[in-house]
């Protein structure tokens, strides 16, 4: 078995999907876990990108159906998390409107992230290596601070935190460990980026979101494809078992092997 075949099998990606069937399967998956966990619904951070938009649509369908089937309210809470200001936050709100979210809130991470960065820089100074926190280091602080806020809300409201990780992120390890600091459930996990886009078109994601370049929003101008040097087209082709240019295949497989620690369990002895 080639490394490509091993990766596809491990991540569970299909070469072709039926978007309607995949939506139904993932909504049922969410409903079942909410009931089994005894929680009252789902929390989804809405970044304004396509992944969180699709996850929002799935969550809202799941909680609406649960509310109708059980005669008890189950909710989807949409959370907007700008760092100080966010130039495209209108897209986040457009997603909430498209899926008719009743519950939504904004938790600005700006001051918290800046305070953490300042304390890190004090630590560097105390170690005799005065310097600023790196751009990537601060990007990780942003991601993890967002998760801290999500879990603070979810704990007191008895909600599950929904992750937007998918196979095209998993193969490159393009997230901090456990999906930016752990989540409770990942309804997009076995889809590649192309397939997420297929679900987005089927489920009613706003066009402004569909048209955007994929970005983790870690700093101004950051895009996934520029940072990784691998297009999502090649990434998705690879995960569907197709051939891609040898030099791109080599880069993608090196990235996969280099980031194995992000997909593996926490080691112990």
The pTM assigned to this predicted structure is 0.92
The mean pLDDT value for 55-74 works out to: 98
The secondary structure of the chain in percent helix, strand, coil, rounded to multiples of 5, reads: 55, 5, 35
Of the residues 22, 169, 180, 184, only one is catalytic, namely 169
Arithmetic mean of pLDDT over the chain: 92
Which has the minimum average pLDDT: 95-99, 154-158, 214-218? Answer: 214-218
Instruction: Report CA Rg, the chain.
Output: 19
In whole angstroms, give the CA distance from residue 186 to residue 89: 23
Tens-place pLDDT, residues 244-254: 999 999 999 99
pLDDT at 229: 78
Specify the higher pLDDT residue, 88 or 180.
88
The mean pLDDT value for 234-256 works out to: 95
Tens-place pLDDT, residues 103-144: 999 999 999 999 999 999 999 999 999 999 999 899 889 989
Residue 179 has pLDDT above 70, yes or no: no
In whole angstroms, give the CA distance from residue 86 to residue 15: 36
In whole angstroms, give the CA distance from residue 187 to residue 16: 18
pLDDT at 180: 53
Residue 201 has pLDDT above 90, yes or no: yes
Residue 23 has pLDDT above 70, yes or no: yes
In the chain, the domains with their CATH numbers are 3-108+157-263 (3.40.50.620)
- Is 169 marked active-site? yes
pLDDT at 228: 75
Of the residues 51, 165, 180, 237, only one is catalytic, namely 51
Specify the higher pLDDT residue, 213 or 211.
211
Specify the higher pLDDT residue, 180 or 11.
11
- Is 51 marked active-site? yes
CB 107 within 8 A of CB 154: no
Count of other CB atoms within 10 angstroms of residue 155: 10
pLDDT band at 219 (very low <50, low <70, confident <90, very high): low
Residue 178 has pLDDT above 70, yes or no: no
Rounded to the nearest 10 degrees, the angle between the axes of helix 232-239 and helix 193-203 is 100
Specify the higher pLDDT residue, 265 or 189.
189
């Amino acid at each position: 078995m080639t490394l490509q075949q091993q990766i596809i099998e491990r991540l569970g990606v299909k070469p072709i999907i039926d978007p309607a069937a995949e939506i139904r399967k993932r909504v049922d998956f969410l409903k079942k876990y909410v009931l089994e966990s005894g929680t009252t619904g789902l929390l989804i951070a809405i970044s304004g990108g396509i992944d969180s938009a699709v996850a929002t649509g799935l969550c809202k369908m799941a909680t609406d159906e649960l509310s109708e089937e059980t005669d008890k309210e189950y909710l989807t809470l949409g959370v907007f998390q700008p760092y100080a200001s966010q130039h495209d936050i209108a897209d986040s709100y457009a997603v909430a409107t498209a899926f008719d979210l009743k519950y939504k809130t904004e938790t600005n991470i700006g001051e918290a992230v800046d305070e953490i960065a300042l304390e890190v820089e004090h630590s560097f100074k105390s170690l005799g290596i005065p310097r600023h926190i790196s751009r990537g280091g601060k990007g990780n602080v942003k991601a993890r601070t967002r998760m801290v806020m999500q879990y603070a809300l979810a704990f007191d409201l008895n909600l599950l935190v929904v992750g937007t990780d998918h196979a095209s992120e998993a193969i490159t390890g393009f997230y901090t460990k456990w999906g930016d600091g752990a989540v409770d459930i990942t309804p997009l996990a076995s889809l590649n980026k192309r397939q997420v886009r297929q679900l987005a078109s089927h489920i009613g994601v706003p066009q402004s979101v569909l048209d955007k370049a994929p970005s983790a929003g870690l700093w101004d101008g950051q895009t996934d494809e520029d940072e990784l040097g691998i297009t999502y087209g090649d990434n998705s082709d690879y995960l569907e078992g197709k051939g891609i240019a040898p030099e791109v295949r080599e880069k993608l497989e090196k990235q996969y092997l280099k980031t194995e620690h992000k997909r593996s369990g926490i080691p112990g002895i």
